[in-house]
Amino acid sequence: MLKRLCSTVNDFRHLLRARENVVAAWPKSYYRRELIPVRCLNRWMFVVNSPAGVQHVMVGNARNYRKSPGNTQVLRPLVGHGLFVSEGELWTRQRRLSNPATHSSRLQGYSRIITEAGAGMLADWRARGDPHEQDVTEAFTLLTADIICQIMFGYKLGDRVHLLYEAFVEYQASHGRMHLLEFLGLPMWLPRFSQRRGRKAVDKFDGVLAEILRAGRNAGGEMPENFLHLLLSFRDEEGRPMTPGQVRDEMASIFLAGHETTALTLAWAFYLLERHPEAEARLQEEIARVLGGRAPAFEDVPNLPFARAVIDETLRLYPPVHVFTRQALGADEISGHKIPAGSFVTISSWVLHRHELWWEEPEVFRPERFLPDNAPKLNAHAYIPFGAGARVCPGKHLGLLESTLLLAQISQSFRLRVRPGHAVEPLGRMTLRPRGGLPMRIERRT
C-alpha cells in the first residue's frame, strides 16, 4: 500500500514537472531507449521512440490511433472541429477539400506574398535605427500571421495582426499546459478556471476572423481562388454549403497551424546560427553567391541548399511541434510490447530527433546532414518535424519554402544576436518556444 502511494506521488511529481516544461522533463535514459512504458496514475502511457514504432503508430496502424482527447480539448475552444483536431469522415472530407490550397503548383505565387511581407518587416527594422533590439519570436509571429492570412484568405491584416497575436499569447498562457484531468481519469468536461480566462482570448480572435470572413463574402466573384474561397464554395451531395461554424473552425485551424510553427523555426534558426559562426559564414557565402544582393525569389530556392539545410537541422533540434499524443482505440503491439486499448502513446520529436541510436552526435548542430548528397543516410521515421502518415502537415512544403526564403532574405541584410546575459531556455508547452521570448540585437550588415 505504502509502495503504491509513493509511486503515485512520484508519478504526480513527474507529471507536474512535465506540465511546466515537457522537454525538460524527459529523463536522460529515454534518449537511448526504444519504447518506454510509463504508469501515469491510473493510466498507461507508452513513449514510442524508434523509427519502426513511429511508422507503426503514424502510418502502418494509424487507424487504431486517434489524437488524444486531452490535447484536442485544449485546442477545442480555439479551433472547434477544424482540420487540426477533427477525426473520421469530417476530417477526410475537410482534408480533401483543403488540398488544392497547399498544392505545390501554388507555391510560386505564394512566394511573392512571402518576400513582399518580408521586405515590409525589413523596412520597419531599418526605420527603427541601427542597431535595435526586438523579441524576434514576436516579430516573426506577426510576420507569418500576416503571410498566412494573405495566402489562405486573401486578406491583409494590417494593425489587426497585433490583436490576433495578443489573443494567441493570452490563450497559450491559460491553455498551453498539458492536461492532468486525462491522466487522473476525470471527465474532460469538468469546468476549470483557465477555461474562463481563455474565453476572452477566443472572443478577440473570433472578432478578427469574422471581419476576414465578411471581407471574403463581400468580394463575391472577385475573390481569389484561395482556401477561404474553397470553404465558401463547398457544397455537399445535397447542395448544402458548409455551416458558418465549420467555416470559422477551418479558418482558425489553418491560421493557427500555419503561422506560429514557421515563426518559431526562424527564431530558433537565428539563435543556432549565432552559436555556430562557421555555419553562419557558409550561409552568408551561399546567399552572396546566389543572390548577389538582390531579394530571393521562388526560382532561387533550389540554389540555396545550405539555407534549406539550416532550416532542416533547426527543425531537428527545435521542432515547434515537439510532441504527438495519441490514444489506442483497440489493443495493439509495438516492438513486442502489448498496448492495452485506451492507453496513451506519446511520440516526442524532441527526444526522437536527439536519440543516440538514430543520430550521429545528436546534440551537434550540423546542417550538412541535410545536404542532398547526405539525404540517403537519413532514417525517414527518425525525423518527423511535420508528423507522418495521413495526418502529415499539409503545409509542409509551404512552411519549408517560407522559412528558407525568409531566412535568406533576413540574413542578407541583418545580423541577429541574442541580448547579452539573456539565458535562452526551450519551453515545451503547446509548441516549443524560447521561455520569455528571444530578445535579439538586430544590426544592419554593411
Among 45, 83, 142, 287, binds ligand HEM (CB under 6 A): 83
CB 408 within 8 A of CB 418: no
With contacts defined by CB under 6 A, name the span among 258-266, 267-275, 339-347, 354-362 that binds ligand HEM: 258-266
Which of 115, 262, 346, 348 forms a contact with ligand HEM (CB under 6 A)? 262
Using CB under 6 A, pick the residue from 253, 314, 404, 412 that binds ligand HEM. 253
**In the bound complex, what is the minimum distance in angstroms from residue 289's beta carbon to ligand HEM?**
25
DSSP-derived letter for residue 51 is H
Among 198, 216, 296, 320, binds ligand HEM (CB under 6 A): 320
DSSP 44: E
Please say which residue, 265 or 343, places its beta carbon nearer to ligand HEM.
265
Chain residue whose CB lies nearest ligand HEM: 395
C-alpha cell at 419: 541580448
Task: For residue 154, state whether it binds ligand HEM (rule: CB under 6 A).
Answer: no
Angle, CA 29 vertex, CA 53 and CA 391 arms, to 5°: 30
Q: Is 398 in the site for ligand HEM (CB under 6 A)?
A: yes
Judged by beta carbon, residue 75 or residue 440, the one nearer ligand HEM is 75
Please, which residues bridge with residue 324 across strands?
Answer: 347
DSSP 243: P
Q: Between 153 and 414, whose beta carbon lies closer to ligand HEM? A: 153
Q: Is 254 a binder of ligand HEM (CB under 6 A)? A: yes
Q: Is 321 in the site for ligand HEM (CB under 6 A)?
A: yes
Give the DSSP letter string of 133-172: EEEHHHHHHHHHHHHHHHHHH----TTHHHHHHHHHHHHH
Cα–Cα nearest to 262, from 94, 110, 73, 402: 402
**Least distance (Å) between residue 240 CB and ligand HEM:** 23
Pairwise CA distance, residues 382 & 389, whole Å: 13
Give the nearer residue to ligand HEM in terms of CB position, either 134 or 262.
262
DSSP-assigned letters across all residues of 164-208: HHHHHHHHHHHH-SPPSHHHHT--TTS--HHHHHHHHHHHHHHHH
> What are the residues binding ligand HEM (CB under 6 A)?
83-84, 95, 102, 253-254, 257-258, 261-262, 265, 315, 320-321, 324, 385-387, 391, 393-395, 398-399, 403
